[in-house]
Each structure stands twice: as structure tokens, then as C-alpha cells.
Structure 1
């Protein structure tokens, strides 16, 4: 069977471990000290593991990884809940820690929780219409089940097992001593539930446990959208080296400014817009355009300093996404502001250089252009 992600629980390991087993990257979390109890883990197929952006080992009952697939960030959580009848404080601490994991997920991102919740949620949907379907066990929820249902309702999660109709042997996840029940679940946020295509049990996959394998078929990638390749064009500024073309350009731009309605030039901003549009439009008409051979658009303000600032900003952003620490967020904001300032200054210098070059060309061809500019400034 081809499994991309496998969650395991009650594996009774010590400490946090990461290793490779065959085609899988394995992440395990157990007790820090004392007797090896509980323990959870995730097996990630190598093709999926390459898309992991962060891993967190919380405690012996929960851990998670974040994937970035198709532009969507998805958090996958492996859990092992206290059994029915466990100490109330232990159950409270479990759900408090689980709540912290869920609430930290952005609304635009997705979350999947899996493994052994030791809860029977039944199939009574009243009050939980978006949380469970009618394909669960034909019973009322037990104590742990009610706690899980309330948690899901408050966090916007759905118990996906209960929405798919299957034979009983493909629904019950645990069986021992002549008794069977559904206590293992795969939960998703309400939005992501629409991407779940099927959930069912497979028997005979394990031979050393009384739990059966529960599988979910879902899609965590956006549909591919075919991009329309745009043609990159640039103005043939090298044509200005020809004296005849240069003179023609100056005559055309002078005429362009003579036709500008002086009433439209009210302040320095409107004057700048008129100047910019006239320069670019006249350049296209007089000098013509050509297709960039390498397909890359020329951007005069993009330089080594801007490139380095953007790299630092990206690095800080990725760090903050991984840790969500306040210090890393402050670092990212500082780098973002610094990069923005560097871009502004680079663009300003680029336009100043362009203006200086244009001025030299104007001086070589005469003063009509600057006479028109002065008249515009004076409203004449």
C-alpha cells in the first residue's frame, strides 16, 4: 500500500528521534525520562519529507510537522490521548496542549490530526452537524467522546471517519476480546474536509496490535493552473546613439509636452506623472521595442544591494514561520523595513540617473524640451 504519511501512537519510546527507514523519514517523540510510555510518531515518505518546513516534538502524546505543498501550508499532528477514565487533570493538560497547536495555524492554512484519541464519538449529530456525520458508531458519545466533540466544535474541526459510509469491518478501528469500537480518527479543519475523498479501515496491515490501519485519501495541493507566458519587451534605448533618431526623439517629446493641458498640472506630483508618461510613450513610438532574448525584464534599480536585502528578508521570514517566536518576528519586521527602504532609495537613484542621461541628450540636441518644462511649471 502506498502511504505518504503514517501516524503512529503508543509506541513507547524515549526522547525525540529522527531517522530514515527505507523510503520514509521517521520522526518519533517519547518520554524525556522515566519509564517509556505513550509515544507518538510520523512516517513521512521521502518525496513528502522534502516539503517539510518545520518539526515540533511537543511531548510523549503529541508532535507535528508543517508541509508546504502547492503553495498551501499544512500541519500534520500525531496524537495519543489519555484513555477513558484517566485523571481529569491529565485530560485537561492534553487538550490544552492540543489547543495551542491548533490555534497557532493561520486561517488560510490547513491542519490534519490523526491517531488514537481513545474516544467514542458515536453518530448523534445534534449540535455537532459540522463536526461529525452519521456513519460513526450507533451510540451516544462516551466521556472522552464528548470532550473530543466539544474540542472539535470550538476549534472548527471535523471527524472525517464519520462522513463516509462503509461496511462495519471498514469502520471499526479497534477490536479485542470480542469487543470492537471506533477510537482512532483523522480530523481536519472544516475547509479542508472538502478535500477528503475517502476514509476507511484496512485490516491485516499490522499483526502486533489490536488497532487497525485507518486511511484517508485527500489532496493537499492546489489545482494546477496553466500560466500564459508573457512576452518581455524593452525600449530600444541604444537607438539614441544615432544623432538623427536622437533629434527626432527630442522634437517628438517637445511636441508631446506642448499638447499637455496646463490645467492638469496642479502640483509636483501631477507634473511628474505627465513627465513620466510623455517620456515613456514617446520613447516607445520613436525608438521602438524589442523582445528580451533571455525572457527577463530589465529593472535598472535591481542591484546587488537590493538582492542581498531581499535575501535577508526572506531568511528572516522563513525563520519566523518555523519558530513563531516574538524575537524572530521582530527580526523579520526589521529586515522587511530595511529592504523596503533600500528599494525606495535604489528606485530614486535609478530615476535620477535616467534624468541625468536624458538631460545630457537634451543639451546635445538643444533646449526646446526644457523650455516646455519651465512653461508647464509656470502654468503657461
Structure 2
């Protein structure tokens, strides 16, 4: 996720901040393009993805509210569209441009008759001042308002309800440059998402025909991973030992050298352990461990209650459904808080128990799970010497080079008189004998051909793969005498 917002001292609740969340495939496309992004201000953020055969530039926005004749609000809106225009001017002409977010603007049916190339026929609102700003901006840049070109029910078009007059309006839009109009397949509103997270804006989903593709990375050979839970299973342990005994009886009867028997033995143990204790690759992604079925059912009930409340707006029974939703929301928050505390107590007890039993592997495994993955250093903000934020990976690399050049190449002056005053350390007799001792055979070989020695050390045979200590302990319990 890349985001842009106001500083903590100037932050105002629900007034600033925009973000773009990318999945794994889109993240690869973003990195292939050089990780290009720009936090323009607290209301505009831009990101560029490398796709095939074109690039896609996404701009997320959060426009100021409608001015209604207020001079200060008019200046804020003008400044917002001026900055947005400057951002759009930087986008290469061949890119597919997507501008998405809360524009706080309403467009009407009249505009479909005058600007059919910008506004579609499926409009259900009346224009306001911000709406006129939006139409002028789209007309100037050959951009269409994609929401208005697809027919849906009214509840699947409106995104926000006015708290005063209780009327629904379309304020959130997806804008696409006209040359890629055919790439958009559908735009509609989904109401369930708002109930799950408790926001007053509904989710707008845009379906594109353009599929993001990135360069395929070279497949790295995967190392064998064993499932520790399977290794601790008594039935699987018994099965492993039985199959190993049957195999080793045949190996012991063969007329082979000790090295050949050893190679065959290690290969079989590795293959057998990988077959029985193999970690499943396509296991479904685990949800948060503190989430229980009870909490998930309550979340679904809360989302359903929110939809019922929205369906009964401006009716006599609206209060009943609103009270039901509020009660469920409080209950879900209370259950989640209590379950989190209980979960942390369980994890702490598990770590403490593992440490007392000298099972450091389990203790560190649980700690690593709580810690999560490696810190995401790719998206750390890097600034130039002048304090400007760098958004291009090449500029960031040059900045790091400049930083380490200044850090390591420090100009220093050495006074020879001070160097002469440094006393020579006295070496003990034991250390002197160790230094005078002739080099060993391994040291002589390393000195004669250091590169060859290093290369041979890297060249490992297939059977020289470290096995799990648990698997080795199971092998030792078989008590087979095949190497006699």
C-alpha cells in the first residue's frame, strides 16, 4: 500500500489522506516500472504500473467538499484541480490513465445532452459546482466518467447518503482516458463492504478487460520443507519407521561398499521424509488466529443488519434497524477486544512452556509468526539532500550511493608525531609460539589454490542436504546395523 496524507500536526479526521493498495501481481508490475509513484499532496497520489503491452497510471484523489459560494472553499477546489491538472500533464500519452476516488461532485442528466463524450446516459443526480469543475476537467483532458456509461439499479449507482436530507448521491467516480474507453467492462457499487468496515461511502468496483502482466522471474529450486506438526504425529512417525526398516533390510543384504550403502540410505531417508512429512504447498491462507467462528458469524450478521438498515431508510421502521446495527457493531468490537486479549495470553503461555521445555525451535517459530515477515524497506521514504522525496528506484539508488560515498570517504588528517607515540603491544609467549608455528596441511592447500578450495566447498552432493533433527532421531530409533 502506498499512501499520502497530512502531517500529524495538521491532520484532521476524515478530511485528508489517499492511498492505493496493490495485490501481488500489481506490485510486480509496479516494481518492473521502477517503483514510480508520487505523493503529490494530502489529496492526490499517483502510481505507475508496467503492464504489457501498455503502462497504467493510477491517480487516487479526495476532492474538497462543494463550495456552496464559500470563498475559501472555492479557492481550495480551484487549487485541487490545478494540482490534479499538473499531475495529469506528467503522465505519458501512451499510458492508460485511471483517476479514482471521492470527487464530492454531482453530475446531472442535462450534461449527457451537452457533453455526451464525457457523461454517459445513466445519470441519476443534479449537477453542483464541483460537478461542473469535474466536467470541465474531463473535457479538457479527453477523459470520460465511466460510472455514467453502465446501467444498474439506483442502489448500485449511489455511493453516499446526505446525513441531513437523507438523499443518496453519486460522489465517487472512476475516470478513464477516452482512448481506453473500450477497456472498461463495468462500474457498479457494492453495499456490503460499507457494512463490514463501517464507512458512509459504498465501494465502487471497476472491471477492466486489461489484465496486468509482469515479467516472469526465473524459477528458483525450492528446498524441501517439512511440516513440524506432521513430524510430531505419532501415527506418521510409526509409518516412517516401518517403511524405513523394510527398506534398510534390503540395503543391508546388498553387496556394496559402505559409501554406496550410505549414499543410498541418505537418499531414501530424504525421499521418505519428504513424502510423509512434506509441507503442503497449496494450503489455503490462514486467517488471523484470534478470529473465531463466533466473531465471523457476528461480522456477517452486522453486515446484513447494515444492508437492512439501508433498505429501510426514510421508513417508520428505520430506527429499529439502525438500533439493531449499532448493537451488533458494539458487540463485535467487544468480542474482538476480549478475544485478542485471550489470544495473547495463549501465545505467551505457549512460548513460556516451550522455553521451560528447552524447545527453542517452537518458541522462536511462534515469535517469528507474531513478528510477521521482513520489514518492507522497498517503500521507505528516501529524500534527496535538498529534502525532496524520491519516487524513482534509479534516483533512490543514486542517493544511496551518494550517501555512502560521503559516509565512508571521510577526509582525515594523520599527525605522524601522534603515531610515533603509540606503544608497540607486547605479545605473550603463547601467542608468539602460535604465530611461529608452521602452517597446517589444510592452510597450505588453501593458500595454494584458494579459489578451487572455495569452489569445492560450495559443490555439495545431493545427499549433503541438512535433515531435520526430528527425522534423524526417528532414524536412530530404528537400530539398524547396515554399515557393519
Output the TM-score relative to the length of structure 1: 0.51
Q: Within the alignment, does 1:27 sit opposite 2:2 as a pair?
A: yes
Q: Within the alignment, does 1:210 sit opposite 2:200 as a pair?
A: yes
Distance, in Å, in 2 between the alignment partners of 1:321 and 1:110 is 20
In structure 1, list runs of 5 or more residues that go unmatched. 1-25, 224-319, 329-380
| Correspondence for 1:44 | 22
Q: Conserved in 2, the CA contact under 8 Å of 1:79 and 1:117? A: yes
| Correspondence for 2:57 | 75
| Correspondence for 1:368 | none
Distance, in Å, in 2 between the alignment partners of 1:128 and 1:74 is 26
CA-to-aligned-CA distance 1:164-214 (integer Å, 9 cap, x gap)? 000001000112432210010000000112110000000020232111001
Aligned length: 204
* Structure 1 residues 145 and 323, CA gap change in structure 2 (3 angstroms): farther
Q: Secondary structure at the match of 2:109?
A: coil
Q: Within the alignment, does 1:109 sit opposite 2:91 as a pair?
A: no
1:1-380 matches, cutoff 5 A: 26-37=1-12, 38-52=16-30, 53=33, 54-85=36-67, 87-124=73-110, 125-139=112-126, 141-177=127-163, 178-207=166-195, 208-221=198-211, 322=392
- In the TM superposition, residue 322 of structure 1 has moved relative to its aligned partner by 4.6
- Point out the structure with the larger helix share: 2
Distance, in Å, in 2 between the alignment partners of 1:190 and 1:324 is 32
In structure 2, list runs of 5 or more residues that go unmatched. 214-389, 399-484
* Structure 1 residues 160 and 324, CA gap change in structure 2 (3 angstroms): farther
CA-to-aligned-CA distance 1:113-157 (integer Å, 9 cap, x gap)? 001000001222133111110101243x11100111001000111
* Structure 1 residues 71 and 184, CA gap change in structure 2 (3 angstroms): same
Distance, in Å, in 2 between the alignment partners of 1:127 and 1:186 is 20
* Structure 1 residues 184 and 56, CA gap change in structure 2 (3 angstroms): same
Distance, in Å, in 2 between the alignment partners of 1:321 and 1:120 is 33
Q: Secondary structure at the match of 1:210?
A: coil
Distance, in Å, in 2 between the alignment partners of 1:217 and 1:123 is 24
- In the TM superposition, residue 55 of structure 1 has moved relative to its aligned partner by 1.1
- In the TM superposition, residue 220 of structure 1 has moved relative to its aligned partner by 2.8
* Structure 1 residues 90 and 323, CA gap change in structure 2 (3 angstroms): farther
Runs ≥4 in structure 1, deviation > 6 angstroms? none
CA-to-aligned-CA distance 1:202-247 (integer Å, 9 cap, x gap)? 0020232111001000033499xxxxxxxxxxxxxxxxxxxxxxxx
Distance, in Å, in 1 between the alignment partners of 2:212 and 2:29 is 15
* Structure 1 residues 120 and 99, CA gap change in structure 2 (3 angstroms): same
Distance, in Å, in 1 between the alignment partners of 2:77 and 2:134 is 11
Q: Conserved in 1, the CA contact under 8 Å of 2:38 and 2:46? A: yes
Name the structure, 1 or 2, with higher relative contact order (CA <8 Å, separation 6+): 2
* Structure 1 residues 120 and 78, CA gap change in structure 2 (3 angstroms): same
Output the TM-score relative to the length of structure 2: 0.40
Q: Secondary structure at the match of 1:51?
A: helix
- Point out the structure with the larger strand share: 1
Distance, in Å, in 1 between the alignment partners of 2:61 and 2:393 is 21
- In the TM superposition, residue 33 of structure 1 has moved relative to its aligned partner by 4.8
* Structure 1 residues 222 and 27, CA gap change in structure 2 (3 angstroms): closer
Q: Secondary structure at the match of 2:81?
A: helix
* Structure 1 residues 194 and 322, CA gap change in structure 2 (3 angstroms): farther
Q: Conserved in 2, the CA contact under 8 Å of 1:135 and 1:162? A: yes
Distance, in Å, in 2 between the alignment partners of 1:113 and 1:211 is 17
Q: Secondary structure at the match of 2:121?
A: coil
Distance, in Å, in 2 between the alignment partners of 1:182 and 1:96 is 23
RMSD: 2.4
